[in-house]
A = this chain, B = another copy of it.
Amino acid sequence: MIDLRSDTVTKPTEEMRKAMYTADVGDDVYREDPTVRELEETAAEILGKEEALFVTSGTQGNQIAVLTHCRPGQELLLEEESHIFYYESGAVAALAGVQTRTIPGHRGAMDPQDVLNAIRTDDIHYPETGLICLENTHNRAGGAVIPVENMKAIYSIAQKNNVPVHLDGARLFNAAAAAGVDVKEFAKNTDTVQICLSKGLGAPVGSIIAGDAEFITTARKWRKRLGGGMRQAGVIAAPGLIGLTKMKDRLGEDQWNARILAEAIESVPGMKLARQPETNIVVADVAGLNITSDVFVERLRSEGVISGTFGPTFVRFVTHYDVNEDQIQEAIEAIAKVARQ
């Protein structure tokens, strides 16, 4: 099977497996796991933040950030299809007691003026605006890159209003690869950032949150409450470290493959792109085939290619390390075949 559902399906590489086999470990609850510490220090440096914390998932990293930045009764501003709002099971309200106020974006980017307008003034009827969350690349906008300039403008507004900014950078390295800039350029326009090791970076498990030392100290305690404190976590930090230091430089390939796939889809009669891909996510509209995305995904699966529905007529394909250029060609053939049915 050629699995294009998500870059989360990447399996650990041989090098990663060896790293798990040989990882130097200790009890990380006592902060004695050298591999975890190395991962956290490396991540902090790459992201340009003071400290970093290893967590078990992107959702956990985002939730800890919200719990650490906010108090119950505050309001969180975020794009209306952002992962934190859309795909985290309502956790920000359930765990942090924070109200979500969503802003419609353009290709995932909120207009800074809209953000400014949504910041609450001081009034007993209003929640206080406690946090602004950004997402880059933006998943539901089809892997769109939020431009550094947009982030900068929002961060400037946030700082003037004493509101912190958190970046859900689950695919931040894809954004950096596409924009041709260092991840630090994005990260510096935020107070805190979350990145995933288990998507394009190929690690089996884990994410990182980074920020200043005070933030990480409180975040570590919230991680404990959520049960994210692990013992000999070095065994999973080791492949994460490889992802972080070696895999990030090959994300251009995924983007290249996405471009090839997108161009092929554009030429399939009855199919079109929902939008031009910017990174490793391709969203196709199958409305012209007069079938729903459910049906398309099912038929394509029986041709050996796994994709995902992304709305009634939208189908999502995500390129990643475990699918090479030859397999992309095979996938294209399968897509064309299904479209002809």
Contacts and interface: CB of A to CB of B under 8 A. Distances in A.
A239 B239 CA distance: 16
Interface string A87-120: 1111111111111111000000000000000000
Contact of A56 (B89, B100, B221, B227): B227
Given A10-B232, A62-B227, A205-B230, 19 more contacts: A12-B25, A29-B124, A55-B227, A57-B228, A59-B227, A73-B89, A73-B221, A87-B126, A90-B98, A90-B126, A90-B225, A93-B96, A93-B97, A93-B98, A94-B99, A97-B97, A99-B100, A226-B228, A228-B228
Interface in A102-146: 102, 124-128
A204 interface: yes
Nearest to A128: B90
A89 B224 contact: yes
A92 B99 CA distance: 7
A239 to B, nearest CB: 8
A126 B231 CA distance: 18
B232 A12 contact: yes
B63 A226 contact: yes
A139 to B, nearest CB: 11
A341 to B, nearest CB: 25
A17 interface: yes
Contact of A226 (B12, B75, B226, B232): B226
